[in-house]
Amino acid sequence: MHTVADVASAQTRLLDFKRHGLRVGFVPTMGFLHEGHLSLMRLARARCDHLVASIYVNPLQFGPNEDLDQYPRDLERDTALCESVGVDTLFVPPDLYDGDHSTTVRVQELTDGLCGASRPGHFDGVTTVVARLFGIVQPDVAVFGEKDYQQLAVIRRMVRDLCLPIEIVGGPLVRDVDGLALSSRNKYLNASDRSRALTLFAALQAIANSGSPSVSERLAIARPIVQADSVDYLSIVHPSSLKPLETIDGPARALVAAHVGSTRLIDNIGL
């Protein structure tokens, strides 16, 4: 595995592989890797000749009161994990933006609700950094996790709208043995918080197991199950438009975001 930090060097290296006909796969991350990230890298590994992973904690997607400075980091461990799943190039830029960076990529409508409502500007930061990373790596295929389901939908729309020649693959959400969705932020949970965090998945399971076509009835069953300090949303939406549904008569997605202690957690399930 080759590790590169310089933007120009990374782009030159990867464009050379593409000129030689290699199919480039890409998994962007913010580091502090867990099995969920590694599952995405394995998916990408099977779909490409040269696998690239990036580690960059993107400041553009953090709000003024969010945990940018406290976001967990462990580059040495992350490097070993990337190598263990067959990453060929690890891109670890100290910064991605020039001092006069002045371009923002925005996907409208899909970013209005769910996490976009409680984290204004978050998805502008996500799409801007992903677009820049796509410009550097120029992958043929990129893999993103269904854990961040809204993010996956937004990136798919960005790629479609901008006619980027990149296949976007969604990787299934990975859970711990107790059912908690894997997240780098789970390290912040104490034993009591973790027990309460499990109620998010329990609520989603209740929604999935209900036979009612009525969204309001399913949500009424699920809301009392969530034992969080605050709930940003518990919603059932169309899987691609992310618009709230009233009746379930086809594919749908149930999503939840809540604060448990000082930690904001998200989870979702397909219906």
d(CA 263, CA 67): 9
**Distant-in-sequence, close-in-space partners of 267: CB < 8 Å, separation ≥ 6:** 147, 173, 181, 200, 201, 204, 255, 256
Q: Give the distance, in angstroms, between the CA of residue 123 and the centroid of all CA atoms in the same chain.
A: 11
Tell me, letter by letter, the H, E, C secondary structure of the chain. Answer: CEEECCHHHHHHHHHHHHHCCCCEEEEEECCCCCHHHHHHHHHHHCCCCEEEEEECCCHHHCCCCCCCCCCCCCHHHHHHHHHHCCCCEEECCCCCCCCCCCCCCCCCCCCCCCHHHHCCCHHHHHHHHHHHHHHHHCCCEEEEEHHHHHHHHHHHHHHHHCCCCCEEEEECCCECCCCCECCHHHHHCCHHHHHHHHHHHHHHHHHHHCCCCEHHHHHHHHHHHCCCCEEEEEEEECCCCCCECCECCCCCEEEEEEEECCEEEEEEEEC
Instruction: Establish whether 37 is a catalytic residue.
Output: yes
The residue annotated as part of the active site, out of 37, 50, 101, 259, is 37
Catalytic residues: 37
